[in-house]
Amino acid sequence: MAPWKRRDKNNLPGTGSAADLGVQMTLFDLAPDPKVIAARARLEDSDLTRYCAAIVREHAERAGWSKRQRNDLTRSLRLLQGLRLSPTAKIRATDVLQLRQYSGNVISTIDVLAAAGPLIEDRPTRIERYFAAKTSTLPPVMKDQLDMWLQVLTNGAHQAPRQIPRDPKTIRAHIMGIEPIIHAWAEAGLQSFAEVTRADITAALDETTARRHIAGNGLKSLFRTLKGRRLIFANPTRWMKASPKASTIPLALDAAVIARS
């Protein structure tokens, strides 16, 4: 089998002609006929099933699949071949989810495609789903600015301010800390973080007690990123000191109770 080349990174290697390497834009967005797709899956082999055959055998032997399980996966790969617009394009994980309506095998098919190489993992991560749930009702400009911030936190940045990707737990803490504050700003009529002033941030942190430290770190991260991407004119958190962590003061022990014990 011919090795992959960088220019073919979105296509399966060793299949199709040069004319098949690109993915043509669709003229009409028509849903495929389930009966036609199912009939083709029963009758046709495909480049995809042949390309993944060795990986399917390996997974079947390692997991102890029955013949029926193996045939079910092969049928799922045939279904995918019929659903794709181009016979050589890589396959998105979200497209594999369509197999459910054809009684196809989703989980094992994704595992095989990931091992074979032609899978593009585009399913939302847990942190992306959490972020979407917390920001979906915000004004469009705020939402776009937050999307940029999440992208930098998740993937890192090579341009100033440079940043390595953050741990998902850190990202979740940032979102959790700023979420009530940014919603309060939106309810007050703000449409963009460019409208937020130093006084707004100070007032918001003064009203935040238990999560003040987390909220402060989240806001500093957000505005530093937005200023670095020139999405706001000034960083209102610049030179702000980090909020102290909340601490618990131990209570005095009762000497009488200690003496009895």
- Residue 81's pLDDT is 78
- Residue 1's pLDDT is 40
**Would you give per-residue pLDDT tens digits along the chain (261 residues)?**
444 343 444 444 444 433 343 445 554 454 555 555 555 555 555 677 787 888 888 888 888 888 888 888 888 888 887 776 666 778 888 888 888 877 888 888 888 888 888 888 888 889 999 999 999 999 999 999 999 999 999 999 888 778 899 999 999 999 999 999 999 999 999 999 999 999 999 999 988 766 888 999 999 999 999 999 999 999 999 887 766 565 555 556 666 666 666
Alpha helices in the chain (DSSP H): 34-43, 47-63, 67-83, 93-96, 107-116, 126-135, 140-155, 168-187, 198-207, 212-228, 255-260
- Residue 206's pLDDT is 86
Separation of alpha carbons 104 and 125, rounded Å: 23
- Residue 96's pLDDT is 86
Nearest CA-CA partner of 131 in 182, 172, 160, 71: 172
- Which amino acid does the sequence have at 106? V
Locate 161 and state its tokens. 């301010």
pTM: 0.62
Separation of alpha carbons 92 and 8, rounded Å: 16
Separation of alpha carbons 224 and 25, rounded Å: 38
- Residue owning tokens 């997974």: 59
- Residue 177's pLDDT is 92
Separation of alpha carbons 2 and 15, rounded Å: 9
Rounded alpha-carbon distances, angstroms, from residue 181 to 5, 135, 147, 203, 217:
48, 12, 17, 10, 13
- Residue 256's pLDDT is 67
Helix axes 168-187, 126-135, angle to 10 degrees: 10
- Residue 217's pLDDT is 92
SS (H, E, C) 21-64: CCCCCCCCCCCCCHHHHHHHHHHCCCHHHHHHHHHHHHHHHHHC
DSSP 250: P
Q: Residue 237 burial by CB count (10 A; 0-12/13-18/19+): exposed, middle or buried?
A: buried
